[in-house]
Structures are given as structure tokens and as C-alpha cells.
Structure 1
Amino acid sequence: MRLLFCCLLALLALPAAAQLTESFTDGNFTQNPAWAGDAASFEVNAQLQLQTNGPATTGTVLQLSTASTTANGATWEFYANLKLATSSGNYADVWLLSEQADLKGAGNRGYFVRLGGTPDEVSLFRKDATGSPVYVVNGRDQSLNSATNNLARVRVTRSLADGWTLEVDYTGTGQSYQLEGIGEDNTYLQSNYLGVLLTYSSSNSRNFLFDDFKVTDRLAPSVVRATPTAARQLDVVFDEAVATPQATGSYQLNGGPAVLTATRDAQNQNVVHLTLAADLPTGSNALVLRNIADLAGNVLAGPFTLSFTNSGFAILPGVNQVIITEILADETPVVGLPASEYLEIYNPTANIINLSGVRLLKPGSSGNPAVFPATATLLPGEYAVVCGSTRAEQFASYGKVFGVSNFPSLSNGGDQLVLRSPTSQTLFEVRYSDTWYKDSEKQEGGWALEMIDTTNPCGGLENWTSSTDPSGGTPGRANAVRTANADNRPPALQRALALTAASIRLFFSEKLDSVAAANPALYSVSGQSIAQVAPISPDFRAIDLTLTSPLQPSQPVTVSVQRATDCVGNATGAAATATVALPSAAARGDVVINEILFNPRTGGYDFVELLNRSAKYINLQGWQLGNEKPDGVVDASAISEVPFVLAPGQLVVLTERPDVVQAQYPTSAEPTAFLEVDDLATFPDDAGIVTLFDRSGAPFERVPYSAKQHLALLDDVNGVSLERIRADGGNDAANYHSAAASVGYATPGRRNSQLQEDPAGTKLFSVEPELFTPDADGQQDFTTLNYTLDQTGYAASVTIYDAQGRPVRKLVRNETLPTKGFVQWDGLTDQGRKAGVGIYVLHIELFRPNGGTKREYKRTVVVGARF
């Protein structure tokens, strides 16, 4: 009894740390309570009011704060007088709840009252770690309309249900409060500081006065629920932060095990963790609470009995034990769902999942992750909506909702989302794209993406589609599109890359089982020993191998993977191999522009294909691809920020949207050859110059192109690429031709449909092929006049005559020739019409301008047609 009495006295004697009264009657602001910040720019004046005395400089921002932990079920009051005309450059922010002592901090979070600003109003705002402040209560405009004397005594009340009330007495007496508005917001439930943050122009450095700060919390805490978290662990949740438990005697289980310890949660002071002396009985239980105090010293005297059921305790989730099953990234136009982005999560296990501390984030984003609260759980087979904290009310009718701070902004076109445990283990990852809708109308907005088969959580495009529910989605319940869609395919090794002389990265076609993939016995490298194996998070589609001895430049080795297991257990049978080498320095001409699509189909995207025609392995990291404009300015984009190595003879397709290009050329594209490039330079549809720069920024390759290079017989050149005819040829127009119709008018990542091998032999002039059919079917669409000259300095003219000796096409006119090359004829006349079927003569005039030597040659060619 004496112990209980002493504990009660201790609780009643708790300092009211969460309450605050400051009227500056002691003549200072450095103690009782202590304020800190830009202290040299403030003073307590003769009227015993806090007054600014800062630099007389336009744009000055001053701040002063003091400790205050009151956050809920409280009232904040203060007096202010702004002796100035408020504006966008002259206003005061009085922070009621602040996470940081430095109110200027860019990542600070909490709530503040703004006096002034452009609307000349008194309003309540919420400030998140990123983004602009948002209204909680929007006060009346022009309520502060004096140029010299804006009095305001402000009173803000927050209920335990997170309802906010803003009142202002513009006489400053506290006798004539007017209601400015009400609002609801539950984003922030804790506070560390209260303070003032002031912005002014040069003439207003002494024109801010404050007094009578008062924070009042007179409500005792109330218990919300008790949740078993382990056989001998019980979490008790209150509606506000509670004081550090003074004795385990404050908590007692009726007829149950003794409570050994009571510990307040370090992150969420609303939660107390109880440790029990024995296992908690299953079924109904009763917890008795006595003398629980909040941070202001308000005591729930009790005894208060809370009944709860132990139907099993929540466990921390493992990989794919909590998954994202629905995504609404584009909420407009509204179909039937709330106009708000959301995710749906699902518990596919037979256990209660403890989501406490689980983080939702977008890799690469600079913002803080969203964190699930300490009390968040998900029952077996249960769905829940996850959205921004201010949007939770919109989804209340859909079932369980987690409104979290820092909910990521979901990009309409696609994003990567990750769920991570408190220990940073990747629990689930998805990288969605708007192509997953598989419906052009639903892709425009208002419809959710839904997972088809929740037993196939690693499936991408094949396991997601647009919702078929009339409302646009099924938040909080089983998806409308659910059906069996198992993944029965094992992962494939796609390529290998030497990151450094001592490390190799392997890329796979799908997500791997990260535990199984970490086994070194599964891998071998010819002539090497492996020191370490590291699966790469968050999607585990890549594995890094660390070698014991260095690779040599452009000396290939073979990597072998004995078995690879995907994240749902499919394993490869036979070993897979890949060739890899340490890159060498590239020389001009090693990498060429092999194919260009500059005028894509409707809804399509440009692409440029590169070819490594050397015997080297070349790293494209840091290289750039761009469009050279007529004024010489180049609009360039980085090809890859990470290592990307081209093997000898390898092709790579550069585009913003590989998925779209592959969808438009399904039979002629090679998906493994694509490399996604953010913000690829725009290539004009009429003419331009494709430029390639190496990692030093030096020009490496330059190919002018024009729509006029396309085969003139084509009625529509949209979606038709220009292909390089000869890999070893030059970058002139004669070495490019429209891709063939038989392959869909482009071959991204595959052998060019118009590729022509350099003819063998030493004849001065030869025609290849001697019979051609210019019909864009990909079979002998053009012919080439090939030449090999005995010395430099020759110029040539080539005229084509029909069988009657009539000139048909002036193909070349007095052009200087290199010693080896070719001239292309596409079968068209000078008038742009297709030449008729028959025999034609190529009359060649070769002369040396300096020596006066002239030679003439004739070669025949046949224009045919397919029937």
C-alpha cells in the first residue's frame, strides 16, 4: 500500500512539461522558459512584450523557439501586434507544434498560425518535410488590414478527435473572439517546440510584438486498445503521449500473468510496451490501469478496465508477407473512387502482421519515407488502404485505412515502390508502368492497377492489369481481376557486366530469391575464384560477384550460373553462361549509329540504335546522345549513369520507353538490347543530326539525317526507321535506307533488315545485287554500285539509262570519291517515280581533275517485280 501511495504522489508531482505560460513579466526570454534561436535579434521591451530588434534588411528571417511537447487535446493562445502592412514579404508564423528547434529548417514538420502574407489573414497551416504548407483552417482574407497596428489575440484548440478550431480577437483583449474556421488533421501527434518565425522588409525590423503565450492541456489520457505482440508482450495504446511509466503497478491483468516491466515506446510516446511473467492466455482478457499520467501531469486515476481478446499476436513480416496489390497513380478524371492517390496492401499469410516501423518509399526520392505507426497491424487475409494522412477520411468507408505522413507522390507513367522492414530488409518491391493498364482509355486516369494473382507477388506486367470494377478500383477488398496466374517460368541470365577489374554483375530476367542467390557455390568464372556474392536490392534482379584476381581489358571470361531461383521458387535446370570482359578505351569509329527512328508512330517514342563494330568491350557509362540543332547547340542526354558495356558486335537501343517501342515492333524488337534513357533528346521529324559524345564530352559520332532519305515509294514514313546499310561504311546518307515492310519498318536490337555485307573481290566497279525489286519488302529493295579505286583524287559522275538509252536518273554528279565505297540506287527516277521493270545501264565517268585523265565504264542492272 505504501508503494502504491508513493507512486501516486510521484505521478501527481510530475512537472507540467507539456504546458507553457510565458508573459515575459520577468523581463527576459532566456529562462522560465528558455527561448533560443536568433536571440540577439529579440528583446523584452518596456511594456514587457517580446519585440523584434533585428537587421534592417529586406528578406530577413528570424526565429525563436522554446520547448513544448503538447500535441493533442489542448488549447494554444498568444497575443500579437504587427505594426506594419502585412504582405508576401512581411508576415509572422507562430509554430504551435514543431519537430525541430530550428523553425527555419527545410525539413521541419508541424503546425503553425500565419499572420499576414499575401491574403492579409490569420490562418492555420500544416508543414510537411517537403512541399509547401497546406491549409488546415483558411481564415478570412483582409482581416489584418491596418498599415500600422494589426492586433490579434489568437486561440487554437485541438480536440482528441483531431478537430481544429481557430479563433481570433482583433481587439487584442481576449474578450471578443471570432471564429475563423474549423478543420481536421491528424498528421502529427507529437511536438517538441513552440516558437515564432518572422519574415520582414528593411523598414519593419522592430515591428513584431508578442505576449501571453499559453498552452493548456487539462484532459487526462484515455486508453485506446491493448494488442498482444508476442507470447509475453502486450502493447497499450493511448490517445496522447504519456509520461514515462513510474511503476508496473499501474498495469495489472485480471487473472493473468504479472506485468514485469512497462516501457514507453521511444518513437511513439502514445504506446507503452508491457513485458509479462508468463504467456498471455488466449481468449478474453482484462487489463486494469491506474494512475496513468500524460506529459502535462493530467492523471487517469482509474481503476480503468480494458477488455481485449488474444486471438494470436502480431509478428514482423518477412519477404512478400505484406504486399502491394492495388495502385491508383492517376486519380483524374474521377470514375467512382475518391480523387486521391492510394495503394492497397494485403496480408497473404495466416498470421497477424505487425506493421510497426515498416517503411513505404520510392528509391531515389529525396523525401523521407512514409512510416507505419507503432500500432499498425494487418489481420490474416486482410486488405488495407494506404494514402496520405490528410486523405484518410476519404477512404474511411472502404475498411481499414492507414493515413501516413510523407505518402509518396505516384507518377502517372510509372514508379518504383518498396516496402522495407524497420531493419531495412526489402519486404516487397514493384516497378509499375502505365503500359500495365493494357487499356488506352483506362490509362488516361481514374482507374486503379490491380494485381491479378496474389500468390505471384513478383510478377510484373503479366500479373497486373487495370481494374474491371465499375468504380475504377477495389480499395480495401479483393481485386476485381483476381484469378489464377501462376509464375511457372524460371529466371534467365540476360547478361553479365564487369563493373571493375575485380567485380562482375549478373542481370536476370526476373526477381530472385535473395537468400538462395547469395550462395557462392552456384557461380563460377573461368580462370577466377569468387570471393563474395551479393544480391542487389531492392528488386534482386542482379547479383554482384567479387573476384580474387583482376580481369584484363577486353579479355573475355565465361561466367556460369549453376542454378537461379526466382522469388516464388522456380529454379533453372541447366547451367546458364555469359561472356564478360573488362572494358577498353574506345577509339573513333568503334561505336556507330546503326539505326534511327526520328518520326515515331502516334503514341510512340524515338530510338537510336548503337553498334559496337570493334573487337573491344566498350563501357558507355557517362556517354551522351543528342540532337545537334541548326545553330550548333546540342540537346544531349546521358546514356547511362551506371556501367553499361557493349561487347564486340553488340547492339543497344536507346529510348525513353522501351516498353512502348517493343509493343509497337513486337516481332522485330529484341527486348534484352534496350536501354532506357531518361529525357532522351528530341529528334525533329524533318531533319536533324544525331550526335554521340564519349565520357569526356568529346564528339564521337555524328550522323545527319533527313526524312527525304526514306524510300519515296512509302506513303507514310511515321514509324519507319533509317537503317545503316553497311556496318563498316560511312555516315553519309547513301549508307542509310528505310527499314523493310516485312519486319514492321524497324528492327530495334536486331540485325538491320537492309544490312548489306561488303562485297568481296577487287573489281573496280561491281553491282550488288544485279537484280533488285524496289518495293520495301526487305528483299533486294535497292542496289549498290561498289567501287575499289587504285588511288585517291578521283571524281565521278554516274548516270542511269534505260534499255532505249534514255537518261532515267542522274545518280552522282562530279563527286570526289574515297578509294573504296558504294553508291546506292533505290530504283526511282529523277521525277521520284518507280522505274519500270527492265534492264538499265549505269554509265560511270571517272576522271582526275588534276591530271585530266578520264575513264568510262558501264554496268547493267535489272529492276524486277514480285508477282
Structure 2
Amino acid sequence: MKKLLLPFVALLFARTATAQLTDTFADGNFTQNPAWTGDAASFQVNAALQLQTNGPATTGTELQLVTPCTATIGTTWEFWANLKLTTSSGNYADVWLMADQPDLKATGTKGYFVRLGGTPDEIALFRKDATGSPVYVINGQDATLSSTNNNLVRVRVTRSTAGLWTLERDLTGNTTYVSEGSATDATHQRSAYFGVYCTYSSTNSRAFYFDDFRVTDATAPLLLQAGASSARQLDLTFNEAVAAAQPGASYRLSTGSPAVTAAARDVQDPTVVHLTLVADLPLGSLTVEARKVADAFGNVAAGPLTATFQNNGFAVPPTFNQLLITEILADETPVVGLPASEFIEIHNPSATAVVDLAGVRLLKPGSTSNPAVFPAGAVLLPGGYAVVCGSTRPALFAAYGKVFGLTNFPSLSNAADQLVLRGKDGRTLFEVSYSDTWYRDARKKDGGWTLEMLDTANPCAGADNWKASEDASGGTPGRANSVRTPNPDRTAPALLRALALSPTTVRLYFGEKLDSLAAANVALYTISPTAGILRAAPVGPDFRLVDLTLAAPLTANQPLTVTTQRAVDCAGNASGPATSATFALPVSVVAGDVVINEILFNPRTGGVDFVEVVNRSGKFLDLQGWQLGNQRPDNSVDAEPISSGPVLLPPGGLLAFTTHPDIVQQQYPNSTDVAHLLQLPALPTFPDDAGTVVLFDSRGQVLDKYAYAATQHLKLLDNAEGVSLERIRAAGPSEVGNFHSAAGSVGYATPGRPNSQQQPDVNGTGVLTLEPEIFTPDDDGQQDFTTLAYQLDQPGYAGSVTIYDAQGRLARRLVRNETLATQGTWQWDGLTDRGQKASVGYYILHVELLRPSNGQKREYRKTVVVGARQ
């Protein structure tokens, strides 16, 4: 079939173009003319001069070969294949028409491929993005490849200059093609490789055959747009790569415009041609004309090709992320080498556009001060950097290049702050909320060093794209950062939580900045049970929030689920599967609904305190206006607000409050749930020795309080720094007997996660209940102590608990004549009266209950075993 087809194909295309890629394997190899690379040892050219798999006979094997190919638009791809097997989810082939990298197995490879086989036994065209699973462009008919041992097919795929794809096939291997369908998709415009990918089960290692690969660009280039990047440079963009050699005589401008002296293809982007002009461009509407422009494959557009553009001057106002803050000196002392003055550095990341800074505002959201405004005539050249400082400080930075001294330059907080650049039209251009933890260096955090952005191509990122300068002077104002390195954002945005702000407004919280235009699409969101959505409004300046306006008011405390489809972050990453969050319109809280669940009051060196609460009610609650306090010995309270805005706490929900969630996460990386950490501007002062944590609602009502002390920690601990006290039973009282040191096996704290020492609430019957009856006091978070619960018929009892070993020797006087409520608990942590760990063995708990009013006395004995793990 090959010998009959190729002359026909050659005749068909001889008049239009030279093929971008042709390989019939007639030379008996795949290592040259063209050269294929990849799993070369697992392929062969067989006696029939066909490419055949010859890999290991192992189920799940994946093989690939690729060869360079840049054709993308106005292109035809053809190939012959025979899969001598039964296709399935584990036995199929992908022929990649376009791939942006040579590893077809990598999850981040982008492009288009034809799948032969798979579960539907189909021939289909797929698109692969940087994240997520492949998606159909053309879904072929199922059961097309239905043979158990001879799935023969010739495939032809075309893509028009308008992005229209057509998929055809001939199941006899000839050229009488039948259409599988057409579809428009213009997602990916670049390609570097063509290739084949095969996966199979053990019996099919030699069952894939390929031949007659041909990729042909038969279409002349089209001129898409033109624009001035400087007074004497015009940039033309074509729909595909053009020839490397670009004669200036091929281009001219409108009558009366300056002549073109030179034309050059862009080094990085072969679809762009830069025209150099003999004089400055005039203002107004201009037309550029191109004749006899060839693409990279020899197709010539006789022309004329024209594009009209508006020249409004050399500099252009910046749009979102076209003006960046790339360096910050918030703490100028002690001086390392830079001037003793706060500053920021701005950067124009464009390679061609001059940015017009006139009217751009620098501000701190929430500040009462007027913003700093750039003056008329201020510009920043393509790729340029500039220092921005106070109006009296430019002379200090004169040696660093361009400097803007602005009136009302904001005071930069050392610990943390938010800075925003806004265009003169009020739109957000750039936002950054920095923290001193971004330095990643305790020494540099103390002052004199700048924070620098790592990757200016990833401006939406936060802490992971900034660090302390590595320049010996302390920073690099006015030039490229010392820490610059590629740091792309490949993470899709996640929906963290949702909250009803009112009966008709629901706020969504995302884990990173969103594309504000995409996020405003109402069709991305659904609420079930059914609730109509009228409007979606992203909330600036960082666009991590989206407010949904509902068509009808919500019912209080009714759980609902909001789902978002394909949320897009400001770096262009789109979430794949739908993500959802549960919420409800909150109701009023009463004392005891929310209780103190965990407290870290004596942190490690460099650490911070945190307090965790748990909602043990069946209500959805809003923490807006609540306060957290420490009650002093004189009963006065040092209190701090939890949140001035709404914060939802669902039934059973946990929230840990701290001033630095990032530090908490760093110190407890394996036992922290960052989704349940809430940053507070300040926490009350919790002494290291003892204090009382108090939780207030928005009306000042005490919801819960707990009196902690360092002496409550497990006596076996060598050092209690960084060890939290955890609540044992959610429904139990906020008393000493219901708290225990967090287990060492989880890192000694569980902020935002269920407690390591939690036990089920006591539900036993009778006077005394012991649980567990065998425990291992080794601080591993599993049965570290035993709990003795009592339930009395009436008040007025006093109780004593004495523990003896199996020989009757006194081990511990646990309780002495304690006045008892009608129910409560005691816990034994396995320590003796000497503070030593009790030996492994049986122990008797002797319980005495006395009613002083009538002398009535009861005695009980419970047996418990102190064990040890092997």
C-alpha cells in the first residue's frame, strides 16, 4: 500500500508545499532522515519496512518515539497504522500531531494526539493541557477498531488557519477516507515534536505497526496584527512561523509613513517580525502591507497582506501584571550595603512595550493615607526596572538607575504588609501581600536585606516565589534580581470554603489569585439543592474571593453545596474536576456550642502561640465579632478580635487561631491542616506557666474558658516547649482531667486537625466506667492514658482514687477527698507518685465515695493494665 500511496501524495502536494515531515522507513531505520528519539531500543523497522514495537513483554509498558516537527496551522497530518491486538484501556496507541516537549509520558506535555483504540475502540482526536486529563476535540465512533488481531487504518487530520480540525480514516489502509467529524479548537498554537506513544499488556509487545508518516503545511501565512513597540519599531504577528530570512523590501507602510529599513524574525517567537523604520511613526491609524512573505515551510503569501493599527504614542498604559513589584526593602536597618531607606522596585516584563506610568497609584489597602501617584511623563522601557521611594530619597538611589520619588510613598511594615499598584482607571495591575517569613533566612529577616521575586513570569504566586536577596549588598535595586530562576505555577486553583454573608450573598474562598474575568462567569458555579445564581463578582485587589448573588434567600442552617467548574488562576491554570464546598446561612450561638479544643502557650524558639476551637453543636456558626482572651489572675481579660469579617464554623468544624499560620505550618508540617488555620492580627498574651483561655461571642458572652498550666503536661516529657494541650472528649468539660499533652508521634501538636489524644465521649452505664482497660503511656497518641468516668445518683459525694500494683503496693494517690459533681472523669497517665512511669503489669484502682451529710460510704475496685508496645 505504501508504494501506491506515496506517488499520489507527492503529486497532490508538489505544487503547494514541501512536507514538514516525511518518513516511510524505506531506508530501513528511524535514526536519521528524520531522527526519532525516545525508547529507541523498544522499536524496530521490520522486513516490511514498517515501524514496529519491540518492547519488553510486561503489562503496563509505555513506549514512545518523537521527532522534531513545528507545523501547527494550515497543516495536514497523515499516517498508516495496524494494531494487531484487541484494543482496550491498557492497549492503545496515541499518535501525537503536536507536542510541546519530547516526553509524551509527562503529565505536563501539551498538544494534540489521535488515539487508536482505548476502551471505546475508537479513532478520536484529543487535546492535552498542562494539567488535567486529555479532552476530546473530535470524539470518534465507538467500536471502529473492533478486530481482535488486525486493526488496520490510515488516518488524515487537517487543521485550517481558522482552527477547524477534521479527522478522517480509511479502515482498509488506503486513501478513501471517511470523516469522523470536525471541530474548532485553537487552544495550542505551538509545537516542537511529532511522535507515537504505545501502551500494552504483556502479550502485545510487538503488536503495533506504523508507516507513511507525513506532515504537510500547504497554507501560506496570514498577517494577524501589527503594533508599534517603539517610535521606530513595528511588530507584525503572523498565524504561524515565518521564514528566518525576512527582506525589508517585503514590507511597507501607509503612504506618507516612514520607510522600512530592516525586517527581522523574533529570536524567541518565530511568528513575529520586527520592522525597523527610518523615522518615527506618525500618530493615528496606520496600515502595514506585506508581500511575498514565506512561512517556515516554503509557502509564500503573494499578498498583499495588510493589518491596520492605531498608534497612540510610544508608551502604553499597563494592564494586569504588565507592571510588577519585584523587590521590597521593608526593614532598612541594620544597613548591609543598601541606602538606609525603604523602597520597592518595579519592573516592566514586556519585551516590546514601553509602559506609561502616568497616573498609576501605589497604595496599601485599608490605609487612610492618600496613595502615591506616578507623575505625567513617567515611563518604563521594555524589560526595565526602576526604584520607587519617598519624595525626599531619590538622591540616595541615583546610582541604581531610574528612580521615582513619590509623595505619599507608603510606610512598609517589617513583619507583613499588602501593596497594590492600580492603573489610573482604578483597575488592579499588581498585588502582593508579603511577610517576613518569605525571607526564608532568620538572619536576613532582621533587616538590611530585600525580598526578591524569583520568577517574574509567575507574578501571581506568593511566598513560594519570593526569598531574601543573595546579593552581597543586600539587594539588587534597578536590575534583575539575584535570586531569579524559573518557578512556574502549574497548580490549578482550589476552592477552600464558602460562606453565606447574607441570605442572598455567598462568598467563595480560593487558594490562589483568580483570573478575574473568567471568575465572573456565572455558568462556572452551581448550588445544590437548587439555588439560582444571578451574578458572580470577583473581589479585589487579589481576587481570591468571589461573591455570588442568589435569586432567592437562603434558609438558616440548611446545608448547601456550591460547586465550581474550571476555575482559572491568574497564571492561566485551570482546575480540572469540579471542586465543591459545603456552607449554610449561620444561626446564633449559645454558651457551650464552641469550646477550646487545643492550646499551644509555650512555643518552640521562633514559634508562635495558637488556640484551636471546635464546634460541637449541630449549627453553622459565624465567628464575626468574636474575641479570644486570656483571663488574668485579677479577673481582668486581655482580649483580641478573632475576625472583623464573616468566618463560617460548620458542625464539628475546627479552627486554629494564630498570628503566623506559615510558622505553625513550618513547625508542624505533618500535623497541620492549613485550610483550618485562621490568621489574627494579634493574639492575647498567654503566659508560659499558666493562664486562662476565654472565648467570647460577638455580644461578649463567654462561650467557653479553660485554665491551663505547664504542670498539666505529661510528666514524662523532657521539654514541654512546642507541645500543645489537647481536649480529650469534645462533649466533656473544659477541665484539667479532659486535656492531655499532644502525642509525640504527631509532632506534639495538631493545629487544624483532630486531636491526637481525643477519645470518644463517655456513654457507659453504671457508677464507674474505665476506658481503655489496657493502655500504653508512651506518648504515641494511641491509648496513652486511661479514663475513669463516674456517674452518681445525687450530688454531695466526695471521692478518693488510690492505685495499687498487683502486689498491693501504693503506686499513685490519684484523687484525695475531691468534692464531686453528679458525673465527671479522672485520668491516669501511667505515672506514679514519684513522677516515674509505672512498670508494665496489672493495677487496681480503689475508688471510695463518701457522703459527709449522712456518712454513707461506697467502695469500688477497677483493674487496669499498663502495657508497652513492642
TM range (shorter): 0.5 to 0.7
In 2, distance between residues paired with 1:631 and 1:543?
A: 45
> Quick check: 1:799–1:812 contact (8 Å CA) kept in 2?
yes
Distance 1:866 1:402, change over 3 A: same
- The number of residue pairs the alignment matches comes to 574
> Quick check: 2:229–2:353 contact (8 Å CA) kept in 1?
no
Cα shift at 1:436: 0.7
With normalisation by structure 2, the TM-score equals 0.64
Secondary structure at 1:403 match in 2: strand
Residue in 2 aligned with 1:348?
349
In 2, distance between residues paired with 1:404 and 1:791?
A: 76
Alignment of 1:198-209 (within 5 A): none
In 2, distance between residues paired with 1:692 and 1:760?
A: 27
Aligned equivalent of 1:445, options 444, 447, 450: 447
Aligned equivalent of 2:412, options 402, 410, 413: 410
Secondary structure at 1:390 match in 2: coil
Query: Within the alignment, does 1:283 sit opposite 2:286 as a pair?
Result: no
Residue in 2 aligned with 1:277?
none
Residue in 1 aligned with 2:848?
845
Q: State the Cα deviation string for residues 636-677 of structure 1 (Å, max 9, x = none).
A: 000000011100000001111111111111111111111111
In 2, distance between residues paired with 1:229 and 1:284?
A: 11
Query: Within the alignment, does 1:702 sit opposite 2:698 as a pair?
Result: no
Query: Within the alignment, does 1:544 sit opposite 2:547 as a pair?
Result: yes
Cα shift at 1:231: 9.2
> Quick check: 1:560–1:576 contact (8 Å CA) kept in 2?
yes
> Quick check: 1:283–1:311 contact (8 Å CA) kept in 2?
no
Q: State the Cα deviation string for residues 793-835 of structure 1 (Å, max 9, x = none).
A: 3332111111221222111122233333321011112222222
Cα shift at 1:847: 2.9
Residue in 2 aligned with 1:642?
645
Aligned equivalent of 1:557, options 535, 542, 560: 560
Distance 1:256 1:403, change over 3 A: farther
In 1, distance between residues paired with 2:471 and 2:377?
A: 31
Q: Percent identity?
A: 64
> Quick check: 1:229–1:315 contact (8 Å CA) kept in 2?
no
In 2, distance between residues paired with 1:865 and 1:760?
A: 27
Aligned equivalent of 2:362, options 356, 360, 363: 360
In 2, distance between residues paired with 1:744 and 1:457?
A: 34
Cα shift at 1:285: 9.2
Amino acid at match of 1:713: L
Amino acid at match of 1:348: P
Cα shift at 1:335: 1.5
- The unaligned stretches of length 5 or more in structure 2 are 1-227, 233-254, 258-276, 284-310
> Quick check: 1:490–1:571 contact (8 Å CA) kept in 2?
yes
> Quick check: 2:321–2:459 contact (8 Å CA) kept in 1?
yes
Cα shift at 1:759: 4.1
Aligned equivalent of 2:614, options 611, 614, 629: 611
Alignment of 1:339-738 (within 5 A): 339-349=340-350, 350-526=352-528, 527-738=530-741
Amino acid at match of 1:322: L
> Quick check: 1:320–1:427 contact (8 Å CA) kept in 2?
yes
Cα shift at 1:715: 1.4
In 2, distance between residues paired with 1:534 and 1:408?
A: 29
> Quick check: 1:747–1:753 contact (8 Å CA) kept in 2?
yes
Alignment of 1:18-37 (within 5 A): none
Cα shift at 1:283: 2.5
- The unaligned stretches of length 5 or more in structure 1 are 1-227, 233-254, 258-280, 288-309
In 2, distance between residues paired with 1:562 and 1:678?
A: 33
Q: State the Cα deviation string for residues 210-252 of structure 1 (Å, max 9, x = none).
A: xxxxxxxxxxxxxxxxxx99999xxxxxxxxxxxxxxxxxxxx
In 2, distance between residues paired with 1:792 and 1:313?
A: 88
In 1, distance between residues paired with 2:851 and 2:441?
A: 64
Amino acid at match of 2:327: E
Cα shift at 1:515: 0.5
Distance 1:256 1:396, change over 3 A: farther
In 2, distance between residues paired with 1:573 and 1:345?
A: 34
In 1, distance between residues paired with 2:857 and 2:439?
A: 67
In 1, distance between residues paired with 2:447 and 2:832?
A: 50
Distance 1:286 1:512, change over 3 A: closer
With normalisation by structure 1, the TM-score equals 0.64
> Quick check: 1:230–1:315 contact (8 Å CA) kept in 2?
no
Q: State the Cα deviation string for residues 120-150 of structure 1 (Å, max 9, x = none).
A: xxxxxxxxxxxxxxxxxxxxxxxxxxxxxxx
Cα shift at 1:417: 0.4
Secondary structure at 1:659 match in 2: helix
Distance 1:484 1:285, change over 3 A: closer
Aligned equivalent of 2:802, options 799, 803, 814: 799
Residue in 2 aligned with 1:767?
770
Amino acid at match of 1:331: E
In 2, distance between residues paired with 1:567 and 1:455?
A: 11
Cα shift at 1:860: 0.9
Residue in 2 aligned with 1:824?
827
Secondary structure at 1:866 match in 2: coil
Distance 1:229 1:797, change over 3 A: same
Residue in 2 aligned with 1:197?
none
Cα shift at 1:552: 1.3
In 2, distance between residues paired with 1:633 and 1:548?
A: 47
Cα shift at 1:698: 2.0
Cα shift at 1:772: 1.5
> Quick check: 2:230–2:353 contact (8 Å CA) kept in 1?
no
Cα shift at 1:470: 1.3
Amino acid at match of 2:425: T
Cα shift at 1:778: 1.6
> Quick check: 1:512–1:541 contact (8 Å CA) kept in 2?
yes
Cα shift at 1:342: 1.1
Residue in 2 aligned with 1:301?
none
Q: State the Cα deviation string for residues 266-316 of structure 1 (Å, max 9, x = none).
A: xxxxxxxxxxxxxxx9735999xxxxxxxxxxxxxxxxxxxxxx9961111
Secondary structure at 1:435 match in 2: helix
In 2, distance between residues paired with 1:390 and 1:739?
A: 54
In 1, distance between residues paired with 2:483 and 2:327?
A: 11
In 1, distance between residues paired with 2:281 and 2:580?
A: 60
Q: Structure 1: which 4+ aligned runs deviate by more than 6 Å?
A: 228-232
Residue in 1 aligned with 2:813?
810
Residue in 2 aligned with 1:193?
none
